[in-house]
Amino acid sequence: MQYILERSKLFIFLILILMLVGVYTFLTLPQREVPETPPGLVLISTILPGAEPEEVETSITNPIERQLQSINGIASMNSISANSASIITLEIEDGVEPDGLINTIQQQAQRASGSFPDQAQDISVEKLDLTFPLVSYLFHGDEAELAELEEPLADLSDEVEAVSGVAGTQIKGLNGEQVVIELDGDALAENQLQPFEVLQSLQQANQPLSLGTHSDGEQQFVLTVQQGEGIEKLRELQVGQAAVPLADVASVELAETPAEDIVTFEGEPAISYTVFLQTGQDVPSVDDRVSDVIDSFNEDLPAGISAERYVSQAENVNEIFSSLYVSLLIAVLAVLIVTTAGLTLFGAFAVALTVLASVLIGLIPIPSLGVDLNQISVIGLIIAIGILVDDSIVVNDNIQRRYKLGDNAMTGAINGVKEVYPSIVSSSLAIVVTFSPLLLLSGGNGAFIKALPSILITTILASTVLSITLVPMMQYLRTKRKKRKVSDTPGFLGKPLEKLAQVYSGKVLKGVLKHPWLTGIGGLVISTALLSLALFTPFEFFPAADREEVTMNVRLAEGTTIEETDAFIQEVTQEVAAEDEDVNETTIFTGEGLPNLFASSMDNTGANTGQVAFRIDREATSASAFIDKWQPELRERYPDAEIFLDTIVQGPPVGAPVTVTVTGADIDELAALRDTLQEEMLANGATVVTDNLGAAVPAIEYVPERETLEDNGIALSTVTNQLQLLTQGVPLYTLYEGQTPYDVVLKQAGITEGEPIDLADFSLPASSSAASGEAGPPAAQPGPPELIGLDELLTAQETTALAQIPHRSGDRAITLRAFGEADDFEAQMLDVVDNARADLPAGYELSTGGENSDQEAFFAEIGILFLVVLLLVYLVIAFQFKSFGLPFLVLIAVYLGISGAILGLFLTQTPLSFLGVMGIVSLTGIVVRNAVVLIDFVETRRLTGDFNIEEAIIESGYARIKPIVLTSLTSIVALLPVAFSGDPLFEPLAVTIIAGLMFSGIFTLVMIPALYYLFNRKSKKQAA
């Protein structure tokens, strides 16, 4: 210590340089609204044109899933086999490096593709990164002019995606174009062509044409054939053996693609344009760069189109940070005022500088920990300010005490630090080991809270070092320069604090030591009784954000067209807007729904789904009240539709309260079990139960007339290919017209949408040998082939069919999502499941999960981590005091803190939430400090032999009461702005810490001396 003090100016200069580095780190930290919680999801999609769900399952989904099951690092695997498409969703385990795993997934998926049917398209494997919208615009107005924006918006996307920090863009509500080749049946017959011949010619035309090179002995020539470009190349393509131009037997035209989304803003047709942010980027700066590009684009919009800046994360960030920075500033000023109240002006300055230096230096390693500047990290700074001041006050107070005892500048600084540094180091280590396990929390909850323990750990470590170096250096320099008289009662609260110390040590502690059993046991009984108040305290895992947006998810019956779905949602939305004067704005996204705006999206989207975003008058009503009003009302009005209203939740995404998954081999048996479970759940408290199988859709099943097919030499695949051409068509490949890509689809004219299909209108040629009944080769010049009507080859039957087949971990599985309002809702649903499990057929299983189970898993995890925290704190204190018993006295302060936190939540009726639990865990490290400092001082006095046990306790109480009161007061005052901010996310955190500190502080000063006295007396008896 002497070495540092003799070079105080040099070390202070070094600290100032580190502070500047901390300022730079703070200014360059990326800002965002909430911490990034990467989804850790991988999507594998494969298209098999025209295939039914069972064929997709057998041909595509099963082979891929079999290959994926051998890969380590996949937490879960779910899939949907639907018409023409297989969608597999993988969740990556925590801690697994995603890029390497994705490469392995791609390799295994490609290995599975070797067994796919020839018409299957390439597998797509992608990590779901576009989950964080930066800004979203709505272009609304004249429908015809909106349609003209396709190419300009494509050019805009090229420009926006070139901006640093942009991950990509998404356009909704704009129907693109595709090249449709529509075969003319009469022209085909006239030219004696079959559709499959045209298909083969088109597929061959997409193969690269390579003639190689040729040398004439002098030069090397590349051999090429002149060909047309784009659509004109298709029209000129010669098809079939007769080499007929495609234009003679088909029309080749640009046509609108089928609508995937219909967007409406305030009743007007609209296009949604959303920009997504790369991970780890600063929201305001990227938003500024993107806004410059889009604002320039908007200047040239047609007169009939308006641009609305619909959602901006930067605006939310700036609004939230303005409020948090005000709270941070108030916390800093409050801490300064409190420290000044109990310290000399110079002492308050030394403490304030040490706190500031601790915060700034503690920020330096933050970027390497993967933490940015968000709500959680700023709250961490506010908590840190209240905690960091403790070390500095204790050291400063003890140095001042040494100077009052007559020590010189050097000796007083050295002795002042030497007497308290063991307790400071051990209590700081206790805080560090308290918060370190929080870094191990798994999943989205762990990623969400990571910033809090990270900032507290780094700043506490910085504070520990600086409090025993910077504070003594400043006091040494000041005292060395000029000998000053140390006031007995510094600060404007000095005299009241001195009076408090005298009353506490002279009266309170003496009374406590006369009745130690009554004090100790009585305090434990009171604190234990207070824990029961948790039963009467509201609970809310993550609160709803105080926002104006409410989203409504709508799902209609499978098979509903997107136009019908849009008409229904328009009707519902207009009713709500007309009947509720608190609705300010409505936007409808029919089809795939919102582009993840307002933390809202839908699963298993299609033509029968859609979402509505309501903006309400927040001064007149709340999002929760709006949902409570309209959700039951709309469900009653429209019982055939699934309708869910939701709002932004301040935390990771949550799911249904209870989910039940039934697994087995036969999909019909699974559907029957689903129906039974759904009926029982609705009868036992569930208000809505949805599932991922859905209702069967109307279908026409074509039964092959196999004898007729065989007699006419026609393969069934030829018939099904003909039907596919007549209905949805066959997707081919991508064609470029200039630089613009277009999907190419081959169809055959003849079927009109909205009219029944008459197979008698269509025919296929029989093979010549089958038609003549002769074997052997056909005649040299055969006549036109005999045509067989499709109605002779197929018999149509009306039936129902599955829209999709869901899998879980490679097995067929249906998941039900149950919603209800009862307090014992989960227990009711589990009873239903238990009853159903008893009657399950062999080979079928039931499993449960959901938001409630996830919360239980979180509390189980946090409970284990809390036990680890207590063990680590115990070991830290045990090593300091070299005792197995004394640490238990210190841990009683934790028990008192938890009791006080529950009392505070109960009195204010603040919900016990995720961050409330984090506040209780945080208390463990904070409240331990007061007990450690108090007991350490008693032990020091007792072991000198100059004091008996009663005198040591009284002397310790007199010396420690002032720093304990000041440090507790600063921590409480720092959090008061947060507690009164009205923020539903952070109020529970602030209330638990404030109430826990107040209750624990008071009871610690009374109970710990009493229990220590009893412990010491018992130890003496055992020694004797």
Give 165's DSSP letter: T
Give ∠ CA 467-471-475 in degrees, rounded to 5. 160
Tokens 């380590």: give the residue. 72
Bridge-partner residues for 734, per DSSP? 743
Query: Can you give the pLDDT at residue 138?
Result: 94
Give 60's DSSP letter: I
The torsion defined by the Cα of 116, 118, 120 and 122, in degrees rounded to 10, comes to 90
Residue 739: Cβ-neighbour burial (10 angstroms; 0-12, 13-18, 19+): exposed
Positive or negative torsion for Cα 486, 490, 496, 497: negative
- The amino acid at residue 641 is A
Residue 786: Cβ-neighbour burial (10 angstroms; 0-12, 13-18, 19+): middle
Residue 295: Cβ-neighbour burial (10 angstroms; 0-12, 13-18, 19+): exposed
Tokens 């780890």: give the residue. 280
- Kind plus residue range of the DSSP H or E element containing 1022: helix 987-1023
Give ∠ CA 296-301-303 in degrees, rounded to 5. 140
- The amino acid at residue 925 is G
**In this structure, are residues 375 and 324 in contact, taking their beta carbons and an 8 Å threshold?**
yes
Q: What is the pLDDT of residues 132-143, one digit of tens each?
A: 789 999 999 988
Query: Can you give the pLDDT at residue 108?
Result: 92
Could you give the percent of the chain with pLDDT greater than 90? 22
Q: Cα–Cα distance between 1016 and 881 in angstroms, integer?
A: 13
Q: Cα–Cα distance between 271 and 294 in angstroms, integer?
A: 14
* CA 524 and chain centroid, separation: 41
Of 692, 539, 685, the C-alpha closest to 605 is 692
What CA–CA distances, in Å, run from 428 to 91, 386, 401, 432, 933? 38, 14, 22, 6, 11
Tokens of 741: 């890509």
Query: Can you give the pLDDT at residue 776?
Result: 46
Q: Cα–Cα distance between 23 and 359 in angstroms, integer?
A: 10
Give 496-553 as a DSSP string: HHHHHHHHIIIIIHHHHHHSHHHHHHHHHHHHHHHHGGGGGS-B-SSPBPS-SEEEEE
Query: Can you give the pLDDT at residue 542?
Result: 75
**In this structure, are residues 53 and 82 in contact, taking their beta carbons and an 8 Å threshold?**
yes
Bridge-partner residues for 787, per DSSP? 765
Continuous H helices in 57-128: 62-68, 98-112
Could you give the percent of the chain with pLDDT greater than 70? 93
Q: Cα–Cα distance between 564 and 761 in angstroms, integer?
A: 29
Query: Can you give the pLDDT at residue 210?
Result: 63
Q: Decide if pLDDT at 63 tops 80.
A: yes
**3-state SS string for 718-744:** HHHHHHHHHCCCEEEEEEEECCEEEEE
pLDDT, average across residues 874-902: 85
The torsion defined by the Cα of 168, 170, 176 and 182, in degrees rounded to 10, comes to 80
Radius of gyration (Cα) for the chain, nearest Å? 37
**In this structure, are residues 735 and 741 in contact, taking their beta carbons and an 8 Å threshold?**
yes
Main-chain phi, psi angles of 262, to 5 degrees: -125, 120
CB within 8 Å of 748: residues ≥ 6 apart? 182, 183, 185, 195, 722, 725, 726
Tokens of 924: 């463990």
Query: Can you give the pLDDT at residue 585?
Result: 94
Q: What is the pLDDT of residues 732-762, one digit of tens each?
A: 878 877 767 788 888 888 777 677 888 888 8
Asked which of 12-21, 660-669, 948-957 is least confident by mean pLDDT, the reply is 948-957
pTM value > 0.85:
no
Q: Cα–Cα distance between 702 and 178 in angstroms, integer?
A: 29
Query: Can you give the pLDDT at residue 334?
Result: 73
Give 912's DSSP letter: B
The number of residues in the chain equals 1024
Q: Cα–Cα distance between 241 and 233 in angstroms, integer?
A: 18
Q: Decide if pLDDT at 775 tops 50.
A: no
pLDDT, average across residues 415-438: 83
Q: What is the pLDDT of residues 277-287, one digit of tens each?
A: 888 888 999 99
Q: Where are the beta strands (DSSP E) in 73-229?
A: 74-82, 85-92, 124-127, 133-141, 166-172, 177-183, 213-215, 220-222
Asked which of 63-72, 507-516, 763-772 is least confident by mean pLDDT, the reply is 763-772
Q: What is the pLDDT of residues 621-666, one digit of tens each?
A: 988 899 989 999 999 999 989 999 988 776 665 667 888 999 999 9
pLDDT, average across residues 379-395: 80
Q: Decide if pLDDT at 774 tops 90.
A: no
**3-state SS string for 945-973:** CCCCHHHHHHHHHHHHHHHHHHHHHHHHH
Q: Decide if pLDDT at 471 tops 90.
A: no
Query: Can you give the pLDDT at residue 568?
Result: 95
Main-chain phi, psi angles of 818, to 5 degrees: -110, 140
Q: Where are the beta strands (DSSP E) in 93-219?
A: 124-127, 133-141, 166-172, 177-183, 213-215
pLDDT, average across residues 910-924: 83
Query: Can you give the pLDDT at residue 655?
Result: 67
Tokens of 915: 């961050």
Tokens of 782: 């055969």
Tokens 């799902």: give the residue. 555
Tokens of 379: 């709250």
Tokens 């344009």: give the residue. 273
pLDDT, average across residues 241-266: 87
Q: What is the pLDDT of residues 535-551, one digit of tens each?
A: 888 887 777 777 889 99
- Kind plus residue range of the DSSP H or E element containing 704: strand 697-704
- Average pLDDT of the chain is 84
Query: Can you give the pLDDT at residue 577?
Result: 94
**In this structure, are residues 87 and 43 in contact, taking their beta carbons and an 8 Å threshold?**
yes
Residue 191: Cβ-neighbour burial (10 angstroms; 0-12, 13-18, 19+): middle
3-state class (DSSP) for residue 676: helix
- The b-or-e profile of 112-144 (16+ CB within 10 A means b, else e) is bbeebeeebbebebebebbbbbbbbbbbbbeee
Q: Decide if pLDDT at 1023 tops 70.
A: no
Q: What is the pLDDT of residues 305-333, one digit of tens each?
A: 999 999 998 888 888 788 777 777 877 77
Inter-axis angle of helices 345-363 and 451-467, to 10 degrees?
Answer: 130
Continuous H helices in 282-373: 283-298, 313-342, 345-363
Main-chain phi, psi angles of 606, to 5 degrees: -175, -160
**In this structure, are residues 913 and 541 in contact, taking their beta carbons and an 8 Å threshold?**
yes
